[in-house]
Amino acid sequence: MSVYITSLNSGSNGNCYYVGNDKEAVLIDAGISCRETERRMKRLGLDMSRVKAIFVSHEHSDHIRGIAVLSKKHKLPVYITANTMTHGGVVIEESLVRRFNADEPVTIGHLEVTAFQKFHDAVEPHSFVVSCRDIKIGVFTDIGAPCERLVHHFKQCHAAFLEANYDETMLEQGRYPYFLKNRIRGGHGHLSNTQALELFREHRPAHMTHLLLSHLSKDNNNPELVQQLFEQEGTATKIIVASRYEETSVFEVPVKSVYALTLDF
Protein backbone atom coordinates (compact mmCIF):
# COMPACT_ATOMS: atom_id res chain seq x y z
CA MET A 1 0.00 0.00 0.00
CA SER A 2 1.61 3.24 -1.17
CA VAL A 3 1.41 6.65 0.49
CA TYR A 4 0.48 9.76 -1.48
CA ILE A 5 1.43 13.28 -0.47
CA THR A 6 0.87 16.79 -1.75
CA SER A 7 0.93 20.35 -0.53
CA LEU A 8 -2.35 22.03 -1.40
CA ASN A 9 -0.91 25.38 -0.27
CA SER A 10 2.04 26.44 1.82
CA GLY A 11 2.76 29.90 3.16
CA SER A 12 1.50 32.68 5.41
CA ASN A 13 -1.58 32.96 3.16
CA GLY A 14 -2.66 29.41 4.00
CA ASN A 15 -1.33 25.93 4.75
CA CYS A 16 -2.87 22.57 3.93
CA TYR A 17 -1.04 19.25 3.48
CA TYR A 18 -2.50 15.96 2.25
CA VAL A 19 -1.20 12.52 3.28
CA GLY A 20 -3.05 9.35 2.39
CA ASN A 21 -3.08 5.84 0.99
CA ASP A 22 -5.38 4.14 -1.52
CA LYS A 23 -8.35 4.17 0.88
CA GLU A 24 -8.06 7.02 3.35
CA ALA A 25 -6.25 10.30 3.88
CA VAL A 26 -5.85 13.11 6.40
CA LEU A 27 -5.30 16.82 6.02
CA ILE A 28 -2.76 18.50 8.23
CA ASP A 29 -4.21 21.99 8.75
CA ALA A 30 -6.83 23.65 6.55
CA GLY A 31 -5.74 27.23 6.06
CA ILE A 32 -7.33 27.77 2.64
CA SER A 33 -11.05 27.92 1.90
CA CYS A 34 -13.20 24.83 1.54
CA ARG A 35 -13.89 25.73 -2.08
CA GLU A 36 -10.21 26.14 -2.90
CA THR A 37 -9.31 22.92 -1.11
CA GLU A 38 -11.92 21.05 -3.16
CA ARG A 39 -10.81 22.72 -6.38
CA ARG A 40 -7.15 21.84 -5.91
CA MET A 41 -7.84 18.27 -4.91
CA LYS A 42 -10.07 17.83 -7.95
CA ARG A 43 -7.30 19.12 -10.24
CA LEU A 44 -5.00 16.51 -8.71
CA GLY A 45 -7.52 13.70 -9.11
CA LEU A 46 -7.89 13.28 -5.37
CA ASP A 47 -11.32 12.35 -4.08
CA MET A 48 -12.49 14.31 -1.04
CA SER A 49 -14.30 11.19 0.17
CA ARG A 50 -10.89 9.69 0.98
CA VAL A 51 -10.23 12.40 3.56
CA LYS A 52 -11.26 11.08 6.94
CA ALA A 53 -9.98 13.76 9.34
CA ILE A 54 -8.25 17.11 9.76
CA PHE A 55 -5.39 17.53 12.23
CA VAL A 56 -4.63 21.03 13.49
CA SER A 57 -1.08 22.09 14.33
CA HIS A 58 -1.88 25.42 16.03
CA GLU A 59 -4.32 28.31 16.09
CA HIS A 60 -2.81 30.82 13.66
CA SER A 61 -5.27 31.80 10.94
CA ASP A 62 -3.17 30.51 8.04
CA HIS A 63 -3.64 27.02 9.47
CA ILE A 64 -7.28 27.06 10.52
CA ARG A 65 -9.08 29.48 8.17
CA GLY A 66 -10.94 26.80 6.20
CA ILE A 67 -11.63 24.28 8.92
CA ALA A 68 -15.14 25.27 10.00
CA VAL A 69 -16.71 25.08 6.53
CA LEU A 70 -14.66 22.12 5.32
CA SER A 71 -15.45 20.08 8.41
CA LYS A 72 -19.15 20.92 8.38
CA LYS A 73 -19.69 20.28 4.67
CA HIS A 74 -17.84 16.96 4.54
CA LYS A 75 -18.55 15.83 8.13
CA LEU A 76 -14.84 15.58 8.87
CA PRO A 77 -13.65 15.02 12.42
CA VAL A 78 -11.19 17.70 13.53
CA TYR A 79 -8.36 16.65 15.83
CA ILE A 80 -7.50 19.77 17.81
CA THR A 81 -6.41 20.52 21.36
CA ALA A 82 -8.80 22.39 23.64
CA ASN A 83 -6.43 25.33 24.04
CA THR A 84 -5.88 25.61 20.28
CA MET A 85 -9.62 25.59 19.66
CA THR A 86 -10.25 28.24 22.30
CA HIS A 87 -7.47 30.60 21.27
CA GLY A 88 -8.19 30.18 17.58
CA GLY A 89 -11.89 30.88 17.97
CA VAL A 90 -12.67 27.94 15.72
CA VAL A 91 -16.36 27.00 15.52
CA ILE A 92 -16.68 23.26 14.91
CA GLU A 93 -19.73 21.08 15.33
CA GLU A 94 -19.39 19.43 18.73
CA SER A 95 -19.92 15.96 17.29
CA LEU A 96 -16.91 16.45 15.00
CA VAL A 97 -14.42 17.63 17.63
CA ARG A 98 -11.71 15.18 18.59
CA ARG A 99 -8.80 15.58 20.99
CA PHE A 100 -5.25 14.34 20.70
CA ASN A 101 -2.25 14.24 23.01
CA ALA A 102 1.40 14.58 22.14
CA ASP A 103 3.18 11.28 21.47
CA GLU A 104 -0.07 9.27 21.50
CA PRO A 105 -0.84 7.83 18.04
CA VAL A 106 -4.31 8.32 16.55
CA THR A 107 -5.49 5.59 14.17
CA ILE A 108 -7.37 6.62 11.02
CA GLY A 109 -8.00 3.44 9.06
CA HIS A 110 -4.57 2.19 7.97
CA LEU A 111 -2.97 5.52 8.90
CA GLU A 112 -1.47 6.41 12.25
CA VAL A 113 -0.98 10.07 13.14
CA THR A 114 1.37 11.04 15.95
CA ALA A 115 1.74 14.59 17.21
CA PHE A 116 4.73 16.00 19.06
CA GLN A 117 5.36 19.39 20.60
CA LYS A 118 7.44 22.03 18.83
CA PHE A 119 8.80 25.53 19.39
CA HIS A 120 6.44 28.18 18.00
CA ASP A 121 4.69 31.26 19.34
CA ALA A 122 1.32 29.57 19.67
CA VAL A 123 -0.54 28.27 22.69
CA GLU A 124 -0.05 24.53 22.08
CA PRO A 125 1.81 23.92 18.80
CA HIS A 126 2.45 20.45 17.37
CA SER A 127 4.14 18.81 14.42
CA PHE A 128 2.89 15.50 13.01
CA VAL A 129 4.16 12.22 11.65
CA VAL A 130 1.73 10.19 9.54
CA SER A 131 2.57 6.50 9.26
CA CYS A 132 1.23 3.78 7.00
CA ARG A 133 2.84 0.41 7.60
CA ASP A 134 6.56 1.01 7.12
CA ILE A 135 6.25 4.50 5.62
CA LYS A 136 6.53 7.67 7.72
CA ILE A 137 5.69 11.15 6.45
CA GLY A 138 6.61 14.19 8.53
CA VAL A 139 4.87 17.56 8.53
CA PHE A 140 7.36 19.94 10.13
CA THR A 141 6.49 23.62 9.66
CA ASP A 142 6.20 26.70 11.90
CA ILE A 143 9.23 25.65 13.90
CA GLY A 144 11.23 28.21 15.84
CA ALA A 145 14.23 25.97 16.28
CA PRO A 146 15.16 22.34 15.60
CA CYS A 147 14.84 20.34 18.80
CA GLU A 148 15.66 16.76 19.78
CA ARG A 149 12.08 15.67 19.06
CA LEU A 150 12.25 17.05 15.53
CA VAL A 151 15.60 15.39 14.87
CA HIS A 152 14.31 12.07 16.22
CA HIS A 153 11.29 12.03 13.92
CA PHE A 154 13.03 13.52 10.89
CA LYS A 155 15.60 10.70 10.94
CA GLN A 156 12.80 8.16 10.48
CA CYS A 157 10.87 9.82 7.66
CA HIS A 158 10.59 8.52 4.10
CA ALA A 159 9.34 11.94 3.01
CA ALA A 160 8.72 15.22 4.79
CA PHE A 161 7.29 18.69 4.55
CA LEU A 162 10.01 20.84 6.12
CA GLU A 163 9.87 24.56 6.76
CA ALA A 164 12.44 26.77 5.05
CA ASN A 165 10.85 30.10 5.86
CA TYR A 166 13.50 32.77 5.40
CA ASP A 167 16.92 33.65 4.12
CA GLU A 168 18.86 35.33 6.94
CA THR A 169 20.28 38.11 4.78
CA MET A 170 16.97 38.89 3.12
CA LEU A 171 15.24 39.06 6.51
CA GLU A 172 17.94 41.29 8.01
CA GLN A 173 17.96 43.71 5.07
CA GLY A 174 14.22 43.58 4.44
CA ARG A 175 11.41 45.97 5.26
CA TYR A 176 10.05 44.17 8.32
CA PRO A 177 10.18 46.11 11.61
CA TYR A 178 12.83 45.02 14.09
CA PHE A 179 10.39 43.40 16.50
CA LEU A 180 8.95 41.22 13.73
CA LYS A 181 12.39 40.17 12.53
CA ASN A 182 13.20 39.09 16.07
CA ARG A 183 9.90 37.23 16.35
CA ILE A 184 10.67 35.26 13.18
CA ARG A 185 14.26 34.37 14.08
CA GLY A 186 13.96 34.36 17.86
CA GLY A 187 13.58 30.62 18.50
CA HIS A 188 9.78 30.45 18.59
CA GLY A 189 9.05 31.77 15.11
CA HIS A 190 10.18 30.08 11.94
CA LEU A 191 13.00 27.92 10.59
CA SER A 192 15.56 29.57 8.31
CA ASN A 193 16.98 28.09 5.12
CA THR A 194 20.27 27.46 6.93
CA GLN A 195 18.61 25.70 9.86
CA ALA A 196 16.54 23.53 7.54
CA LEU A 197 19.59 22.69 5.42
CA GLU A 198 21.63 21.73 8.48
CA LEU A 199 18.85 19.41 9.64
CA PHE A 200 18.69 17.84 6.18
CA ARG A 201 22.46 17.56 5.83
CA GLU A 202 23.10 16.07 9.25
CA HIS A 203 20.04 13.92 9.83
CA ARG A 204 18.57 12.95 6.44
CA PRO A 205 17.90 9.19 6.44
CA ALA A 206 19.13 7.25 3.43
CA HIS A 207 15.56 6.17 2.66
CA MET A 208 14.16 9.72 2.40
CA THR A 209 12.75 10.00 -1.11
CA HIS A 210 11.10 13.43 -1.14
CA LEU A 211 11.57 16.68 0.76
CA LEU A 212 8.91 19.34 0.25
CA LEU A 213 10.32 22.65 1.43
CA SER A 214 7.43 24.54 2.92
CA HIS A 215 6.08 27.80 4.37
CA LEU A 216 8.50 30.04 2.46
CA SER A 217 8.20 33.73 3.26
CA LYS A 218 6.91 35.88 0.41
CA ASP A 219 9.20 38.78 1.35
CA ASN A 220 12.21 37.11 2.95
CA ASN A 221 12.89 34.14 0.71
CA ASN A 222 13.13 33.03 -2.89
CA PRO A 223 11.95 29.63 -4.21
CA GLU A 224 14.79 29.37 -6.75
CA LEU A 225 17.36 30.16 -4.05
CA VAL A 226 15.98 27.45 -1.76
CA GLN A 227 15.76 24.87 -4.56
CA GLN A 228 19.37 25.45 -5.55
CA LEU A 229 20.59 25.47 -1.96
CA PHE A 230 19.22 21.99 -1.24
CA GLU A 231 19.95 20.47 -4.64
CA GLN A 232 23.62 21.37 -4.20
CA GLU A 233 23.76 18.64 -1.56
CA GLY A 234 23.65 16.11 -4.38
CA THR A 235 21.51 13.56 -2.57
CA ALA A 236 19.04 11.10 -4.07
CA THR A 237 16.20 12.88 -2.26
CA LYS A 238 13.96 14.78 -4.66
CA ILE A 239 13.64 18.43 -3.62
CA ILE A 240 10.32 20.21 -4.18
CA VAL A 241 9.54 23.78 -3.13
CA ALA A 242 5.89 23.97 -2.06
CA SER A 243 4.08 26.99 -3.47
CA ARG A 244 2.03 29.63 -1.70
CA TYR A 245 -0.10 30.01 -4.83
CA GLU A 246 -0.93 26.50 -6.02
CA GLU A 247 -0.82 22.82 -5.23
CA THR A 248 2.20 20.61 -5.89
CA SER A 249 2.04 17.38 -7.84
CA VAL A 250 1.00 14.25 -5.98
CA PHE A 251 3.99 12.15 -5.00
CA GLU A 252 3.81 8.42 -4.33
CA VAL A 253 5.99 6.79 -1.71
CA PRO A 254 5.73 3.00 -2.21
CA VAL A 255 6.03 0.78 0.84
CA LYS A 256 9.54 -0.59 1.31
CA SER A 257 10.85 1.38 -1.65
CA VAL A 258 13.73 3.82 -1.56
CA TYR A 259 12.36 5.58 -4.61
CA ALA A 260 9.25 7.71 -5.06
CA LEU A 261 7.20 8.39 -8.16
CA THR A 262 5.59 11.58 -9.41
CA LEU A 263 2.01 10.97 -10.50
CA ASP A 264 0.41 12.96 -13.31
CA PHE A 265 -3.26 12.87 -12.33
Give the CATH number, domain containing residue 132: 3.60.15.10
In a domain, 27, yes or no: yes
State how many domains the chain has: 1
Q: What residues in the chain have per-residue pLDDT under 50?
A: 257-260, 264-265
How much is the pLDDT for 154? 98
- Its pTM stands at 0.95
CA distance 197 to 199: 5
How much is the pLDDT for 259? 44
pLDDT, tens digit (0-9, with 9 covering 90-100), for 100-156: 999 999 999 999 999 999 999 999 999 999 999 999 999 999 999 999 999 999 999
In a domain, 123, yes or no: yes
Residues 6+ apart with CB under 8 A from 113: 26, 53, 55, 79, 100, 105, 106, 128, 129, 130, 131
How much is the pLDDT for 255? 72
CA distance 65 to 91: 11
The beta strands (E) that lie in the chain are given as: 3-9, 16-20, 25-28, 51-55, 78-79, 97-98, 106-108, 111-117, 126-132, 135-140, 159-163, 210-214, 238-241, 250-253, 261-263
In a domain, 265, yes or no: no
In a domain, 42, yes or no: yes
Segments forming the whole domain that contains residue 55? 3-260
In a domain, 86, yes or no: yes
How much is the pLDDT for 256? 62
